Amino acid sequence: MMNWMRMVSLTPSMAVCLVAMLLVIDSMGRCVFAQPPPQTGLIAEISKETLWRNRDGQGETWFHPRVCALPGPGGRTTVLMTLQVIGGSDYFGPVHWTISEDLGKTWTSPSPIPALGRDPVPGRTDGLMAGVCDVTPQYHPQTGTVLALGHVVFYKGKYFARKEQLARYPVYVTRSEDGVWSERKILGWDDPRGAYIYSNNCGQRVVRPNGDIQMSFTFGPQATNRMVAGVHASYDGKTLEVAEVGPALKNDHGRGLLEPSVTRFDGKYWITIRAENDRGYLSTSVDGLHWEPKKAWSWDDGTPLEMSTTQQHWLTHSDGLFLVYTRKDSSNANVIRWRSPLWVAQVDTDRLCLVRSTERVVLPIVGDGVNEPDKVALMGNFDVTNVSPFESWVTVGEWMPRDGYRGDVLLARIRWNKRNEVRSEKFEVRSFPSLFTRVFGDVHGFDLRVVGERFFAIDAGAGTAGDALAAVW
């Protein structure tokens, strides 16, 4: 039996004060009574969960788990994830999707997205197939759709067609409000600079207020010396089109600049970029097209971070900008490209560097990265997403390329000490002000009661319970 607390009659101002003093929304969207957490930094805690297991090699090794948050039934948050099986270096199965209605506690069985499988290459009779990889989903609030963007990759038989990769380009599908996935579409860019490849390549994107997409391309007319540029694209819920591509950033080492990710913070766009000279790079832009000269990532004392051709991604809070990354460390000296563990640190946005004292492990290395590095699962292909004002996620598919391609799908929950006002997926999660309107709009005709962990508005006249905030959330 639930214990009822004493019924009280409140004025609107008293109601607001009561909520401000007593209510905290936990990571699952429940209203709970608790003391506010200590303000020792923006990140309150980081926890690790395993979503799918395959360390024993008896099942599927899921890869590229990337998520977006969208409004779900009853006003609750739904999390949609795309992922695909990995069976070898750059060898991926069809793209699947799965849904969680309880903020990651449980998931539906992954189902294939019909248009993101493998298609025969027109004009080829030798079995060359066009698959899809590096898919990143994003909710688009202006149309209520999900835009899932990746790029083509070519296979022959059970292998990545290393010597037969044709021109590579972005492809996408959309998911309508009623849950229907579209056919595969090409994001066209008729520019000779992208003759060999152009791609968003696992990159984070920003939905602009008018519904346009701010993103970036890695591109090049040949396999080496790829460039990165900012891209404005229009999107109407069905069709994604390139509107403008800005001047390029360059780095003439190996394949050049790869896997750019974009975010917006403090009135500017920020980009972080994978490179192949033991560094990663960042830059800023006012308009998302014209970028300042790139700067190698370093600590606040000027020491450069050693990064071996691996992506980085932004973790964006309204009161602070963070980077999630891999780097060289004594614990991972012999791990391939130092791709474990995953770290996070806050960005000094004035000096364009990382604050060393804020560095924390997001997902720890498992195993001996010095003496038995082949048994350490790599975590270099990961995703970062804000799922609520109180929680952000890092998702990754482990894999051991020299030990049977085994690995788990992991989720790191980053819980905030302070409410995050960033809407990374740009939909309005109901906040306290909107709850006040819903619950306290006619507070003189209502009394307030607490039942267990739920906060109710009680119709004083009828004596019936109205909306629970937990349900409204």
Instruction: Report, as an integer, the average pLDDT of 415-439.
Output: 56
Tens digit of each residue's pLDDT (9 = 90 or more) over 49-71: 999 999 999 999 999 999 999 99
Q: What confidence score (pLDDT) does residue 323 get?
A: 98
Instruction: Measure the CA–CA gap between 256 and 252, rounded to whole angstroms.
Output: 5
* Top-confidence residue, 387 or 448: 387
Tens digit of each residue's pLDDT (9 = 90 or more) over 116-173: 999 999 989 899 999 999 999 999 999 999 999 999 999 998 888 888 889 999 999 9
Q: Are 284 and 291 in contact (CB under 8 A)?
A: yes
Eight-state DSSP code of residue 336:
G
Nearest one of 251, 286, 242, 280 to 267, comparing CA atoms: 286
pLDDT at 25 > cutoff 70: no
Residue 40's pLDDT band, with cuts at 50, 70 and 90, is: low
Q: What confidence score (pLDDT) does residue 179 get?
A: 95
Asked whether the bond before 341 is cis by omega within 30 degrees of 0, the reply is yes
16 lies in some domain: yes
Instruction: Report, as an integer, the average pLDDT of 31-50.
Output: 69
* Top-confidence residue, 40 or 370: 370
27 lies in some domain: yes
458 lies in some domain: yes
440 lies in some domain: yes
* Top-confidence residue, 335 or 465: 335
Q: 316 - beta bridge partners?
A: 321
pLDDT at 459 > cutoff 90: no
Nearest one of 36, 17, 132 to 85, comparing CA atoms: 132
Residue 447's pLDDT band, with cuts at 50, 70 and 90, is: very low
258 lies in some domain: no
245 lies in some domain: no
464 lies in some domain: yes
Taking residue 223's Cβ as centre, other Cβ atoms within 10 Å add up to: 12
Q: What confidence score (pLDDT) does residue 423 get?
A: 63
Distances (CA, A) of 21 to 12, 14, 16, 35, 417: 14, 11, 9, 8, 16
Instruction: Measure the CA–CA gap between 110 and 98, rounded to whole angstroms.
Output: 5
Instruction: Report, as an integer, the average pLDDT of 179-206.
Output: 97
Tens digit of each residue's pLDDT (9 = 90 or more) over 249-293: 999 999 999 999 999 999 999 999 999 999 999 999 999 999 999
pLDDT at 30 > cutoff 90: no
Instruction: Measure the CA–CA gap between 351 and 157, rounded to whole angstroms.
Output: 50
Nearest one of 258, 282, 281, 257 to 270, comparing CA atoms: 282
* Least trusted range by pLDDT, from 260-269, 332-341, 350-359, 462-471: 462-471
pLDDT at 312 > cutoff 70: yes
* Least trusted range by pLDDT, from 6-20, 292-306, 327-341, 421-435: 6-20
SS3 20: helix
Q: What confidence score (pLDDT) does residue 34 get?
A: 38
SS3 160: strand
Beta-strand runs (E) in 89-212: 91-92, 96-100, 111-112, 119-120, 128-140, 145-156, 159-160, 170-175, 185-186, 197-199, 206-207
* Top-confidence residue, 437 or 301: 301
Domain that holds residue 467: 12-39+432-472
Question: How much is the mean pLDDT over the chain?
Answer: 85
* Least trusted range by pLDDT, from 172-176, 266-270, 371-375, 436-440: 436-440
- Structurally, the chain folds into a number of domains equal to 1
Instruction: Report, as an integer, the average pLDDT of 362-374.
Output: 97
pLDDT at 457 > cutoff 70: no
Residue % of the chain over a pLDDT of 90: 75
Instruction: Report, as an integer, the average pLDDT of 339-357.
Output: 98
365 lies in some domain: no
- pTM for the model stands at 0.82
